[in-house]
Amino acid sequence: MNSLKIDNLQASIGDKSILHGLSLEIPKGEVHAIMGPNGSGKSTLAKVLSGHPDYEVTGGTATLDDDSLLGLEPDEISRLGLFLAFQYPMEVPGVSIANFIRAALNARLKEGEKIKAVEYYKDLYAHMDDLGMDRKFTSRSLNDGFSGGEKKRCEILQMSMLNPKYAILDETDSGLDIDALRVVSDGVNRMRNPERGILVITHYQRLLDYIVPDYVHVMSEGKIVRTGGKELALELEDRGYDWIKQEAVAS
Amino acid sequence: MSQETLTSPVSMPPFSFNQPQTFELFAEGRSWEPGWLADYRKECWEQFSALPDRILKDERWRFSPRARFGLTKIDGLANAKESLLIESASTVDGISFDLLDRLILDQAHSLSLLPKISGPNLGADDYSLLTGAFAENGFILRAQASTRSDEPLIIEHREPEAGKIAFHHNLIELEAHAEVTLIEKLTAHPDNPGGHISNLLKVRLGEGARLNRVVLQECSQSSSLVQMENFIVGKNANLNTVTLHLGSGQSRIESKGVLQGDGANFDYGSVYLGKNDQLFDQRTIQVHEAPHCTSNLLCKNVLCNQSRSIFSGLIKVEEEAQHTDAYQTNRNLLLGSEGKADSLPGLEILANEVKCSHGATTSRIDPQDLFYLQSRGITSEKSEKLIALGFLNEPLMGINDKNTREWALQCLESSFAS
């Protein structure tokens, strides 16, 4: 009940089937990591759960607490409490970060409720300070001309402002130097609490030195093929992905 | 007098610009005006009467459903005293900001430049000549050398009642090193919308002068607007004009910027948000006559529903205009599947040391951008608006005065919300 639960999920894009019966449960309070080689379907899983219109779900279920996510619009899923930090956040010229986050918060208000500007900016600045972001960023266009690190910080800023029940971080480490990685990881770690479940998708073990997961899952060919503790990530770092693939085929 | 002519259907034929007596009656009623002005009106009228019938293949009207600017829909002249209002007057010595109908009687000399500057002549010759002939009002802004107004001057052009046309013949003349900010508002008729406005503006900037002009057009959806502008920019002068078009059923905008003196600069921005079946027909020309001048034109349109836009722009660089920097950009964003945008950018370069570029694009919202915004909980409809608003932001950033810029952004935002 208090979990993000995926059961036997199958999904495809066009004629190509990508998820082949994936099952995974992320209870509140836990951090799970999914690792896997390129093309194993990690990002597809993130997009399918977020309601991306390009993907078609052909079987299985996905529920957030008690609500089914499948068939909902991306904005409905977000308002239910799922946040996706993008691997490649889009650049949106002319839309300032402050206005964007405010619009997202506004979308969560009941009729008649209003955001108080003073409190909003106080909150926004506090979160920006935590992420080491210059306050001038509030008036900059969303991701427009941002460096890789700036984009990822901006994702974490949005996540902390929207305070989701569950968060999926899709390759948040890609394109980050070690300093940026630390700042972004600290931001995620601050959000770890018993009321929130987090799924970290990554190709490399490096990120998991900073965001230490409770469980590590290995994904291959659209399925979870192995689950273990954080030491599994180290084993993968050592041995690569091939042995897992072979084991999966053998079984 | 005009009341009488309108309410006696037996003796009077319906109002029409096809009949000589329309002008004769008008001229009789204004026999008190100085002779030169009467002559000018007559000359304009005669030229108008001699115009050939609208031809089908007029390049200057390419893509335009020209019938929507037909003169036969007009059934009379608007009350000139009601269609123009100074909202914020000049408080600076040496800067005068007044209305044509007040100046004709005792300061007619201040209007003498009007006949001497021609219109932009980009196609709407009929409206331009009729404005010369029939304009009973207009704003006249004149600044003496080295004067400066810190507060914006504000004028309101009011849409007349349905069927009537307001002709405004306007003049801005800034002498050397004068600096003025002007806001023009075009507003809807409050209870009987559907009027026509024909605005002819002539601008001349002396050496080193600076004009910042912002236009906000919020006429009713059933109104028509023809806006003709001729900007003559002198040596080292700076002209910055930004227009925000939110209303009017059909607008024809003709803008000409002439860089006449060395080192002149012309910045032109326009934003158009089209809804329903609105039509926005914009023709521009940047004429570089002198060397070392820069011009930068940026026109952005968002087209919702069945609205459409036409952009036709030309950069013309004369042989003497070496070291020209000239840019022209038109970008259109279609929301939904029924809008339409036509774009005709053009260059004509006779000098050899120039930097010129033009570009035109028409696009739709990228589904990946939409997904990104929606994934933050914003509905698809609101996400589209946010993206479109961001798209239109750029030309408004060209407004120098911060308060005016924020006001323009708010006007645009509330137009999106409605």
B162–chain A nearest CA distance, Å: 37
Look at residues A53, A46, A22 and name the one whose alpha carbon lies nearest to residue A225: A22
Torsion angles phi and psi, residue B158, rounded to 5: -100, 130
Q: CA-to-CA distance for A24 and A31, rounded, in angstroms?
A: 12
User: Is the C-alpha dihedral spanning A230, A232, A236, A241 positive or negative?
Assistant: negative
Task: Tell me the DSSP string of B152-200.
Answer: PEEEEEEP-STTEEEEEEEEEEE-TT-EEEEEEEEE--SSS---EEEEE
The CA radius of gyration of chain A, in Å to the nearest whole number, is 18
Buried (b) or exposed (e) across B161-200, using 16+ Cβ within 10 A? bbebbbbbbbbbbbbbbbbbbbbbbbbbbeeebbbbbbbb
Whether pLDDT at B306 is above 70: yes
**Within 10 Å of residue B322's Cβ, how many Cβ atoms?**
16
By mean pLDDT, which of A43-52, B13-22, B204-213 is the weakest?
A: B13-22
Q: Do B393 and A93 touch (CB under 8 A)?
A: yes
Closest residue in chain A to residue B377, using alpha carbons only: A75
Does residue A14 belong to the interface with chain B, where contact is any CB pair within 8 Å? no
The answer to whether B377 contacts chain A (CB < 8 Å) is yes
Three-state secondary structure call for residue A4: strand
- Banded model confidence at residue B53, pLDDT cuts 50, 70, 90: confident
Contact B164, B192 (CB under 8 A): no
Per-chain mean pLDDT for chain A: 93
Element (H, E) at B390: helix B380-396
Buried b (16+ CB within 10 A) or exposed e, B122-135: bbbbbbbbbbbbbb
Answer whether A52 sits within 8 Å of B371, measured CB to CB: yes
Q: Would you say B364 and B381 are in contact if contact means Cβ atoms under 8 Å apart?
A: no
Whether the CB-CB separation of B233 and B262 falls below 8 Å is answered with no
pLDDT confidence of B106, banded at 50, 70, 90? confident
Confirm or reject contact between A52 and chain B (CB < 8 A): yes
Beta strands at A55-64 and B164-174: parallel, antiparallel or unpaired? unpaired
Task: Using the predicted structure, report yes or no on whether residue B398 has a pLDDT greater than 60.
Answer: yes
Please report the beta strands in B206-278, taking only residues with DSSP state E, as ranges in sequence order. Answer: 210-218, 224-233, 238-245, 250-259, 265-274
Output the six-digit token pair for A193.
């609490």
Q: Using pLDDT thresholds of 50, 70 and 90, give the confidence band for residue A251.
A: low
Q: Please give the CATH superfamily to which domain A3-88+164-250 belongs.
A: P-loop containing nucleotide triphosphate hydrolases (3.40.50.300)
Give CA–CA dist A11/B342, Å, rounded: 41
pLDDT score of A204 = 84
pLDDT-derived band at B198, boundaries 50, 70, 90: very high
Verify whether the Cβ–Cβ distance A94 to B375 is below 8 Å.
no
Distances (CA, A) of A124 to A134, A162, B141, B387: 11, 11, 46, 22
pLDDT number for residue B355: 96
Nearest by CB to residue A75, choosing from B368, B377, B392, is B377
Measured from the Cβ of residue B19, the count of other Cβ atoms closer than 10 Å reads: 13
Q: Average of pLDDT values for B47-67? A: 88
The alpha-helical segments, DSSP class H, found in A163-193 are 178-190
Here the tokens at position B291 are: 């060397």
Q: What's the maximum distance between 2 C-alpha atoms anywhere in chain B?
A: 69
Q: In whole angstroms, what separates CA B95 from the centre of its chain?
A: 23
Q: Which chain A residues in 91-130 lie under 8 Å from chain B, judged by CB atoms?
A: 92-95, 99-101, 103-104, 107-108
- CB contact A73 to B (< 8 Å): yes
Give the pLDDT mean for B220-228. Answer: 97
Pairing of strands B196-205, B224-233: parallel
Average pLDDT over residues B169-188: 98
Residue A94 region, left (φ>0) first, then alpha (ψ -120 to 50), else beta? left
- Alpha-carbon gap, residue A162 to A165, rounded angstroms: 9
pLDDT tens-digit readout, A11-35: 999 999 999 999 999 999 999 999 9
- Structure tokens of B343? 């774009």
- Residues A8 and A193: beta-carbon distance below 8 Å: no
The size of the A-B interface in CB pairs under 8 A is 81
Nearest-by-CA chain B residue for A160: B376
Contact at 8 Å (CB) between B281 and B250?
Answer: yes
CA atoms of B22 and B24, how far apart (whole Å): 6
| DSSP H/E element including A7 | strand A3-13
- B/e letters for B246-264, b = 16+ CB within 10 Å, e = fewer, are bbbbbbbbbbbbbbbbebb
| Between residues B274 and B416, the one the model is more confident about | B274
- Tell me: pLDDT of B176 over 60: yes
**Cα distance from N-terminal residue to C-terminal residue, chain A:** 31
Instruction: Assess A162–B contact: CB distance below 8 Å, yes or no.
Output: yes
Is A78 within 8 Å of B374 when comparing Cβ atoms?
yes
Using pLDDT thresholds of 50, 70 and 90, give the confidence band for residue B2. Answer: very low
**How many angstroms from the chain centroid is the CA of residue B188?**
16
Say yes or no for a CB contact (<8 Å) between B375 and A90.
no
For residue B367, which residues of chain A lie inside 8 Å, CB to CB?
53-54
The answer to whether B417 contacts chain A (CB < 8 Å) is no
pLDDT tens digits, A168-187: 999 988 888 888 899 889 99
- ipTM > 0.90, yes or no: yes
| pLDDT above 90: residue B297 | yes
Question: DSSP code of A248?
Answer: H
Average pLDDT over residues B238-253: 98
What is the least distance, in Å, from the CA of A164 to any CA of chain B?
A: 10
Residue A202 phi/psi, 5-degree rounding, is -150, 155
Which residues from chain B sit within 8 angstroms of residue A89, using beta carbons? 372
CA B348 to chain centre: 24
Contact A93 B372 (CB under 8 A): no
Q: Where are the alpha helices (DSSP H) in chain A?
A: 42-49, 74-80, 97-106, 117-130, 148-162, 178-190, 207-210, 231-239, 242-250
Dihedral sign for Cα B71, B74, B77, B80, please: negative
Extract long-range pairs of B34-41: CB within 8 Å, 24+ residues apart. Answer: B34/B104, B34/B108, B36/B108, B36/B112, B36/B115, B37/B104, B37/B108, B37/B111, B40/B114, B40/B115, B40/B132, B41/B132, B41/B133, B41/B134
Contact A86 B382 (CB under 8 A): no
Phi, psi of A245 (to 5 degrees): -60, -45
- Rounded to 5°, angle at Cα B251 from B238 and B282: 50
Q: How many angstroms separate the CA atoms of A221 and A201, rounded? A: 15
pLDDT at B326 exceeding the cut of 60: yes
pLDDT at B112: 86
Distance from CA of B383 to the nearest CA of A (A): 9
pLDDT score of B3 more than 50: no
* pLDDT of the residue at B251: 98
Contacts of B366 in chain A (CB under 8 A): 90
CB B183 within 8 A of CB B149: no
**Under 8 Å between Cβ of B15 and B75:** yes
Alpha-carbon span B383 to B239, nearest angstrom = 35
**Cβ-based neighbours of A230, under 8 Å, separated by 6 or more:** A208, A212, A213, A214, A216
Over the stretch A200-226, which tens digit does the pLDDT of each residue have? 999 888 899 999 999 999 999 999 999
Q: Do B380 and A75 touch (CB under 8 A)?
A: yes
Percent of chain A at pLDDT > 90 equals 79
The separation between CA A109 and the C-alpha centre of its own chain, rounded to angstroms, equals 23
Collapsed DSSP state (helix, strand, coil) of residue B236: coil
Instruction: Indicate which of B366, B373, B406, B412 best probes the interface with A, i.e. most A CBs within 10 Å of its own CB.
Output: B373
